[in-house]
Amino acid sequence: MQSNLYVGLSGQLLMERRLNTIAANMANQSVAGYRSEEVSFHTILAKTDKYPVAYAGTGQSHILRASGIVTKTDNQLDIAVQGDGWLALQTPAGTVYTRDGRMRMLATGDLVSLDNHPVLDAGNTPILLDPEAGPVTIAKDGMITQNGRQIGAIGLFELSNNAKLSRYGNSGVIPDKSATPILDFTSNGIAQGFSEGSNVNPIMELSKLMTISRNFEQISTAMQNSENSLRDSIKTLGGA
């Protein structure tokens, strides 16, 4: 069996998936809190011939958790997460975690994200502010104070390192394992008046794009050479 043609095709399918991932990352590089996506390469060993053949798998995508660039906004309802924690939002899909800390207060006092999802405290309860109590102060541990009175505290959560993350919207994720409230704010915390951008590195993405383009061309060339070799063999054997 001419397995090298199928091996090349499997490699091209993987390159296509990686290209789609890069395109999504580049399209969302300016989205606050967006986490970039990567595709893990693996091979599939097939024993359909006399000798085992290694095919390229379609790849396993995963969301990278590295922090994005933090920008000072001086908006009292903008917060940036310090460390590895995540903010929690109440959505129609359940609890969603995000690093996008841009918030606003409704006329009712409800503290919500820019997409109108309630922001949750450590007990997964929506936070209610006092719209008549003046400026909002948010401490490193998430404690919210208005007019010298503690109103509540923004929850900060830790996601398990081996939890698989699924996307929700542009900057939200849903883990397949339960999140844990963060109680130690030595290395984790909240910075008021700041906003975190995406963790997409456009230079790295462009570098990956060029590498994938070269790999795709090399695979195409190898497949064409293999096809030419097969055609020449058929002509030679047929002539004989």
pLDDT in tens, 55-86: 455 567 789 999 999 999 999 999 999 999 99
Q: What local confidence, expressed as pLDDT, does residue 232 receive?
A: 61
In the chain, count of helices (H) and strands (E)?
2, 19
Q: What would the two tokens of residue 174 be?
A: 């849903």
Eight-class DSSP state of 222 = H
What length is written for the chain?
A: 240
The per-residue pLDDT for range 186-238, each reduced to its tens digit, is 999 999 999 999 999 999 888 888 887 777 677 667 666 666 666 666 667 66
Q: What local confidence, expressed as pLDDT, does residue 191 receive?
A: 97
Q: How far apart are CA 32 and CA 196, in angstroms?
A: 6
β-sheet bridge partners, residue 88: 97
Q: What local confidence, expressed as pLDDT, does residue 228 receive?
A: 63
Q: Is 132 exposed, middle or buried (0-12, 13-18, 19+ CB in 10 A)?
A: exposed
Q: What local confidence, expressed as pLDDT, does residue 10 receive?
A: 60
Q: What would the two tokens of residue 17 be?
A: 């998936």
Q: What is the mean pLDDT of residues 160-179?
A: 94
The per-residue pLDDT for range 31-52, each reduced to its tens digit, is 999 999 887 665 444 445 555 5
**Contact in structure between 215 and 207 (CB atoms under 8 Å):** no
Q: What local confidence, expressed as pLDDT, does residue 46 receive?
A: 44
The per-residue pLDDT for range 95-142, each reduced to its tens digit, is 999 999 999 999 999 999 999 999 999 999 999 999 999 999 999 999
